[in-house]
Amino acid sequence: MTPTMAEILKQAIDLLQPQISSLLSQLKPQFVIFNFAQHWVPKVASELGIKTLRFSIFATISDAYVMVPPRQKSNTIDDLMRAPNGFPSDNNIALKEFEARDFLYVFMSFHGKPSVYERVLECLNGCTAIANRSCIEMEGPYVDFMKTQFQKPVLLTGPLVPESPVGDIGHKWSKWLGGFPAKSVIYCAFGSESFLSKEQIRELALGLELTGLPFLLVLNFPKNTNAETELANVLPDGFMERIGDKGVVHTGWVHQHLVLAHQSVGCFVTHVGYSSLIEGLLNDCQLVLLPMKGDQFVNSKLVAWDMRAGVEVKRREDNGYFSKADVVETVNTVMVEDDKEPGVSIRANQNRWRDFLLNKEIQNKYIADLVQRLKALA
């Protein structure tokens, strides 16, 4: 979704306020669960004696780094490169200049409407309690920071681990992936809303080629373009001929969870969307982190610095440029040089987090505790 489309959607949602108010007055629920777009819900619900729960599907670190009161007067590029006062990180988490610049959007107002930051802050200040798709094991200090910042309960759902994928990956992918040894294939994808520049695609493609490992590279382009034409224009000269059957470049949808679950896939070059991160860990894939925008940047810090379960691709501070050599170096760390540090520790940590995510008793307890806390708040 483009920024323009997002603003139109938010305006449309705002127009629903009278209808939502009427519906709540009829239903009289004990709680309303809402997200940041409906920043007016706490006020509407409060007038009707209804409690509210702001729920976010993003990692807690994202809110903790950007969406807190200190950012009201601390939101320039230089400010955003530094964590807010009191931010609980032993690793001195900070953003690069190009990453901080990307976050400027959330502080911008369009058509006289509240900015994303203003919407989120109004939600967090006005709600009865905050709920996050998170867990103490992964983000305990950031959960505590949010409690301190907003002086209200922060409820956790756990990471909401998806069930094992069902269905057929398809003959095409099954046949190609089946031709390689276990854990040898690199799967590289950036979600449906991230579009790489020609320069980024070129360096990424050449980097994957230079690893010498088989790879599946998924690239998407804006809807108003011809994907096949774009692909032909951006790939390096002679690239497809050189890689032969050892590499595949695909445009369009793939069943990512099934691909990651295939026994031949051992490395995931990812934009570090939260769901993709969980899928990568679940399927025992080594994580190469190449975030493209927004919360992905802080997710990447969480994985690389706090969880120590992946490696970020080195990038230039000012514009995020990365070279083919940077791609090769990062992949080699987790796939080739895995018998020495930091590869050894990263693999050990990755296995530990996978075991945690696969522990259904722990995951189910988060849901049970959430229900009990909601009952106590009702």
CA 132 – CA 207 distance, rounded (Å): 36
Q: Give the fold, CATH level 3, of 29-161+363-377.
A: Rossmann fold (3.40.50)
Contact 285, 268 (CB under 8 A): yes
Could you report the per-residue pLDDT of 183-212, keeping only the tens digit for each? 999 999 998 888 999 999 999 999 999 999
Q: State pLDDT tens for residues 66-79.
A: 999 999 999 999 99
Domain 171-355: assigned CATH number: 3.40.50.2000
pLDDT at 225: 86
What was the pLDDT predicted at 168?
Answer: 87
Q: Give me the numbers of helices (H) and strands (E) for the chain, helices first please.
A: 18, 10
Least-confidence region, from 31-40, 221-230, 236-245, 304-313: 221-230
Which part of the chain is CATH 3.40.50.2000?
Answer: 29-161+363-377, 171-355
* String of DSSP letters for 109-167: --TTPPPHHHHHHHHHHHSSEEEES--HHHHHHHHHHHHHHHTS-EEE----PPPPP-S
Check pLDDT > 80 for residue 83. Answer: yes
Question: What pLDDT sits at residue 4?
Answer: 77
Instruction: Provide the pLDDT confidence category of residue 6 given band limits of 50, 70 and 90.
Output: confident
Q: What is the distance between the alpha carbons of residues 378 and 372, in angstroms, rounded to a whole number?
A: 10
Q: How many angstroms separate the CA atoms of 100 and 78, rounded?
A: 8
CA 68 centroid distance within chain: 19
According to DSSP, the residues that pair with 310 across neighbouring strands are 287
Region 137-156: mean pLDDT is 97
- Number of Cβ within a 10 Å radius of residue 95: 21
pLDDT of 242? 96
| Token digits of residue 220 | 């998407």
What does pTM read for this prediction?
0.94
Q: What is the rounded average pLDDT of the residues 144-154?
A: 98
In 3-state terms, what secondary structure has residue 258? helix
> pLDDT class for 91, splitting at 50, 70, 90?
low
The per-residue pLDDT for range 327-362, each reduced to its tens digit, is 999 999 999 987 889 999 999 999 999 999 999 999
Q: What's the chain's average pLDDT?
A: 94
pLDDT of residue 165: 81
pLDDT at 1: 67
Residue 105 neighbours by CB distance under 10 Å? 15
pLDDT given at position 356: 98
With residues binned 3-state (H G I as helix, E B as strand, rest as coil), the percentages for the chain, rounded to 5, are: 50, 10, 40
